[in-house]
Amino acid sequence: MRLFAFAAACLLPAQILSAQAPAAIDHAGISDRALTVIESQFSAFRDASAALAQTATIHCNGGAREPVLDALEATWLAWAPLDAYQFGPIEQQAAALTVNFFPDKKNFTGRALLQHLKRPDAEQGDPAIVGASSAALQGLPAIERLLFEDLQTCPALVGITGNLSQIAQSLYDGWFAADGWADLVRKAGPDNPVYLGHPEFTKQIYTAIDFSILRLKDHRLSRPLGTYERAFPKRAEAWRSGLTNQILTAQIDGIVALIDLGFADAISPPARDEALKILDELRTRIDAIGGPLADAVEDPLMRIRIEGIMSKLDHLKTHLDENVSPDLGVQSGFSAGDGD
Amino acid sequence: MRRRDFFGNVLAGLGTAALPLPVWADAGAPDFVTAGNMPDNSTWLVGLNTGGDVLFQIPIPGRGHATALHPTRPEAVAFARRPGRFAVIIDCASGTEIARLNSPEGRHFYGHGTFSPDGALLFTTENDYDAPAGVLGIWDATDGYKRIGEVTSGGIGPHEVLTLPGGGLVVANGGIQTHPDMGRAKLNLPSMQTNLTYLDANGSMTDQVALDGEMHQNSIRHIALDHQGHVVAALQWQGSPTRDVPLVLRHVPGADPGFLSHPDERHLKHYAGSIATCAETGEIAVTGPKGSHVLFFNADGLPNGSAQHGTAAGVARAPTGGLMITRDGGLVHRANGIETLIPVVGDWAWDNHLVPISI
């Protein structure tokens, strides 16, 4: 009797798993499609970073500044959807902070730059020196400050953009070179050291979207918005370069790509259409703020529009939790296997 | 409070605490406490006995991780899961909340804590996340759990802390930098440094052993004392996922940490969860909730088989001898190599740790 009870209990995990992941869901297909999206995003970031490093070198050799600004914009917008993927190569290479040290509550970036600018020129322009320095020195906010604050831009610009380009290449390789993270995803199974099955990657992508919504609402909007009595315009990401609103939209576009092209028909058409409709409304609302976020947080009317975007993000999260996650078999639940 | 006199404060407090107070028997005499979750996502603190009976279940405001138990009074500290900012002190006899600890500005809890041997002080592992640095928060259990200070943990990412029998503390500094703004992301894996740090009764560091070289990414997270009082640790590998590495170590004071390899360690998916040792035989059990596997080692550290158990999470010494493990569907008791399933009524999903009542 005891043996029977034990055997019955041993079946429990399989029953629970099958209840969470109906056989009808093609998780391997989701993995393949999501990897296609991710590949295009990481390759865009790699290419934009390389162009940024190239234009920086030309600028520091007497060339124009404008191409550097254009390349910075392209690189930052290419990164915007990637900051949600806080696993795999980004985590292994500690790139979450090195690429975009945000939010920077204690001005680590400013302090790291001041230290770096005291170094000899040859060291300032050396990507290896930058790569061995504080994470706050290595990323997009540091580059922005060099270009938009009253600082000596060159040759530090060459060193920092050169290091960033190497990071971007390394992230792409970490994902898509032979035996990279993408191969781990594709080979999910009982003997896989990371993914016991494809549903685990589906859940990871769903969690990434969840984190992306949190980043948009809490860090990119709520922090600068502050309160009616006191706004914090300089907490807006990339306020110096004026890229703040475009970054919001680029991040929304990243979510659209994962839902539309990654999850695709694994989600029922009504649930997918509604998600895409909400995301489209978010894009429209961002366009309609009426000014750069750093200005908007100090304007009563525009503040209301920002609050409307935050409410719409809540609506998106609720819709995903209630109508999309059941389709994907990734309903939130508890497991000690979540780790800690 | 000056760091050097924090245990002194405890002893002073004890002199006024000799009032008739409830004991663990008043809470139904549980043998273990764990955090658990129901299918409706409600979160609970649960008292269990060795027969698998739920002797109490008390709602807690969020997902738990580990629990610190007062050595004499039926008081449990239920910690929120990282990066939680609260811990709830619960009177397990009445089911009521005695106090709520809020982490100070710029800190969050890691989910573990321990009482001083006399029960007068509570120590909590915390993240000073903007530094970044690890600290041990100190709370006065004789005065409404008022925060009375903090000391360095000796590294980044302090996770489990234990009180040593001779006084003092040992801390597992996992070495992983996290920040609440970045969710649960690990921010420093290429450069992380993990260590075991020993503190004396005055909060001063007395010893520290770090994992270096290619093992610097083998995060020391959960710890226990073996039958000789030495620290054994469950590790979580943060390096290349294609490498197989040992996930258990033992540290004998004065020596380098010794890794305990096991032929089935790959089944743990690089994640060793809880660790406990058998009081009678010295056997070491290490759970792997990600891999749904448990590894066993003899007292001498040699492999002694493994077992598959769904979401095997917590493990603790059983008062009847042997070891008790939480898994899907209930508990497993292991003694002398024989495993017995003990179903627990209710669709519980246990959280990571099973904490024994040690009196």
| For chain A, domain boundaries | 27-186, 189-329
Provide the pLDDT for residue B50: 95
| For chain B, domain boundaries | 1-30+61-209, 212-359
Judged against a pLDDT cut of 90, whether residue B310 lies above it is answered with: yes
How close, in Å, is residue A7 to chain B by CA atoms? 9
Is the CB of B156 inside 8 Å of chain A's CB atoms? no
pLDDT tens digits, residue range B45-68? 999 999 999 999 999 888 888 899
How close, in Å, is residue A62 to chain B by CA atoms? 37
CB atoms within 10 A of CB A114: 12
Of all residues in chain A, the one with the smallest CA distance to B41 is A333
The residues pairing with B58 across neighbouring beta strands, listed in sequence order, are B45
Q: Looking at residues B272-285, what average pLDDT do you find?
A: 96
C-alpha to C-alpha distance for B38 and A233, rounded to whole angstroms: 43
Is the CB of A3 inside 8 Å of chain B's CB atoms? no
Judged against a pLDDT cut of 70, whether residue A21 lies above it is answered with: no
Q: What is the ipTM of this complex?
A: 0.80
Judged against a pLDDT cut of 80, whether residue B278 lies above it is answered with: yes
Eight-class DSSP state of A64: -
Quick check: helix, strand or coil at residue A97?
Answer: helix
Judged against a pLDDT cut of 60, whether residue A6 lies above it is answered with: no
* Residue count of chain B: 359
pLDDT category of residue B19 using cuts at 50, 70 and 90: low
Q: What is the DSSP string of B8-48?
A: HHHHHHHTT--S----GGGGT--SEEEEEE-TTS-EEEEEE
Strand order in the sheet with B218-225: B218-225, B231-237, B248-251, B258-259
Judged against a pLDDT cut of 50, whether residue B18 lies above it is answered with: no
C-alpha to C-alpha distance for A313 and A291, rounded to whole angstroms: 20
Is the CB of B187 inside 8 Å of chain A's CB atoms? yes
Distances in Å between the alpha carbon of A122 and those of A118, A143, B289?
Answer: 11, 17, 51
Quick check: helix, strand or coil at residue A162?
Answer: helix
Q: Find, among B236, A44, B288, the residue nearest to B296 by Cα.
A: B288
How close, in Å, is residue B82 to chain A by CA atoms? 8
Superfamily holding A27-186: M75 peptidase, HXXE motif (1.20.1420.20)
Beta-carbon contacts of B209 under 8 Å, excluding residues fewer than 6 positions away, are B195, B196, B251, B256, B257
The CB-based long-range contact list for B249-258 (8 Å cut-off, 24+ gap) reads B249/B211, B249/B220, B250/B226, B250/B301, B251/B196, B251/B209, B253/B198, B253/B207, B256/B209, B257/B196, B257/B209, B257/B211, B257/B233, B258/B301
Is the CB of B341 inside 8 Å of chain A's CB atoms? yes
Q: Which of B241, B310, B326 sits opposite A184 (nearest CB)?
A: B241
Is the CB of A290 inside 8 Å of chain B's CB atoms? no
> Would you tell me which residues 88-147 of chain A have a C-beta closer than 8 angstroms to some C-beta of chain B?
91-94, 96-97, 103, 105-106, 135
Return the minimum-mean-pLDDT range out of A36-50, A76-90, A124-138, B177-191. Answer: B177-191
Superfamily holding B212-359: TolB, C-terminal domain (2.120.10.30)
Judged against a pLDDT cut of 50, whether residue B143 lies above it is answered with: yes
pLDDT tens digits, residue range A190-213? 889 899 899 999 999 999 999 999
Is the CB of A12 inside 8 Å of chain B's CB atoms? yes
What's the mean per-residue pLDDT of chain A? 91
Q: Find, among B174, B198, B193, the residue nearest to B253 by Cα.
A: B198
- Whether residues B187 and A97 touch (CB distance < 8 A) is answered with yes
Q: Please report how many Cα atoms fall inside a 13 Å half-sphere around the Cα of residue B230, on the Cβ side.
A: 17
Q: Which of B63, B111, B310 sits opposite A334 (nearest CB)?
A: B63
Q: Looking at residues B216-242, what average pLDDT do you find?
A: 95
pLDDT tens digits, residue range A140-177? 999 999 999 999 999 999 999 999 999 999 999 999 99
- Whether residues B186 and A91 touch (CB distance < 8 A) is answered with yes
pLDDT tens digits, residue range B37-47? 998 889 999 99
C-alpha to C-alpha distance for A107 and A155, rounded to whole angstroms: 22
C-alpha to C-alpha distance for B209 and B224, rounded to whole angstroms: 16
* The pair of three-digit structure tokens given for residue B276, joined into one six-digit string: 């406990």
Of all residues in chain A, the one with the smallest CA distance to B185 is A86
The kind and range of the H/E element at B100 are strand B96-102
Is the CB of A10 inside 8 Å of chain B's CB atoms? yes
CATH of span B1-30+61-209: 2.130.10.10
pLDDT category of residue B202 using cuts at 50, 70 and 90: confident
Of all residues in chain B, the one with the smallest CA distance to A191 is B267
Q: What percent of chain A has pLDDT over 90?
A: 86
C-alpha to C-alpha distance for B48 and B127, rounded to whole angstroms: 31
Return the minimum-mean-pLDDT range out of A126-130, A312-316, B17-21. Answer: B17-21
> Would you tell me which residues 72-111 of chain B have a C-beta closer than 8 angstroms to some C-beta of chain A?
81-82, 111
